[in-house]
């Protein structure tokens, strides 16, 4: 995957934020950047979906500080790997020079795409889709972040509507018709909405020309 020059500059800024922390729009300094395990909030719904698709391997695309091995992912003290009954969870985060990208049953990407320079969004989506055998789970924030880039701009560099993101993902998903997709969009902090799971192959197999 080759990002644009501006995309590469953004990666350098994210590396700086991981190393040095970052400032928020409210003036607070955050010393440990991108440390939340964002997927944790959705764990009951995702557990059911992963079980339905018999997911055994996961790639966390843009993983941040998420630790799939650490105990305490759920109230019983399990790790995320144990909770989802996984064999392995791999991570990719260029801001941390972490690259375990490989083919897996399911690719998850939470609060990542809005950090991508707009010209690079199709490139990143194609890269993300290329590692999924069966399922992709996306969460995209559609609002400005509290975090600021080191240059003073908002860390959510591509803020677009949920419909815009759905159209963008639709246009890439048709290139990978066998992969099912769940897309969650957030209008604000902890204000999320999930659409139905779709699989472009079903559009090809069905009789109607109109796809909702």
Dump pLDDT digits (tens) for 65-96. Answer: 899 999 999 999 999 999 999 999 999 999 99
Q: Which CATH architecture has domain 5-205?
A: 3-Layer(aba) Sandwich (3.40)
Mean pLDDT of 30-59: 92
pLDDT bin (cut points 50, 70, 90) of residue 125 is: very high
Q: Which residue has the tokens 């003073």?
A: 152
- Looking at residue 137, its pLDDT comes to 98
d(C-alpha 101, C-alpha 1), whole Å: 11
Query: What's the mean pLDDT when you consider all of the chain?
Result: 95
Whether this prediction's pTM lies above 0.85 is answered by: yes
d(C-alpha 79, C-alpha 98), whole Å: 20
In what side-by-side order are the strands of the sheet with 191-194? 98-99, 88-93, 57-61, 104-110, 132-141, 180-188, 191-194
**Looking at 119-123, 145-149, 171-175, 187-191, which range is the least confident one?**
187-191
- Looking at residue 126, its pLDDT comes to 98
- Looking at residue 35, its pLDDT comes to 81
- Looking at residue 38, its pLDDT comes to 87
């Amino acid at each position: 995957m080759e990002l644009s020059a501006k995309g590469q500059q953004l990666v350098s800024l994210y590396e700086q934020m991981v190393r040095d922390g970052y400032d928020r729009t409210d003036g607070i300094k955050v010393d440990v950047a991108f440390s939340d395990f964002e997927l944790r909030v959705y764990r009951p719904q995702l557990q059911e979906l992963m079980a339905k698709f018999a997911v055994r391997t996961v790639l966390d695309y843009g993983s941040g500080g998420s630790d799939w091995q650490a105990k305490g992912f759920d109230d019983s003290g399990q790790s995320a790997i144990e909770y989802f009954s996984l064999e392995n969870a791999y991570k990719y985060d260029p801001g941390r020079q972490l690259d375990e990208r490989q083919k897996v049953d399911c690719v998850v990407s939470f609060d990542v795409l809005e950090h991508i320079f707009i010209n690079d969004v199709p490139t990143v989506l194609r890269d993300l889709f290329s590692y999924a055998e069966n399922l992709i789970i996306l969460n995209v924030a559609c609002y400005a972040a509290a975090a600021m880039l080191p240059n003073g701009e908002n860390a959510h560099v591509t803020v677009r509507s949920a419909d815009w993101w759905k159209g963008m993902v639709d246009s890439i998903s048709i290139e990978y018709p066998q992969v099912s997709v769940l897309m969650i969009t957030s209008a604000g902090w902890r204000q999320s909405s999930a659409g139905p799971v779709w699989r472009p192959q079903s559009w090809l197999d069905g009789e109607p020309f109109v796809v909702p």
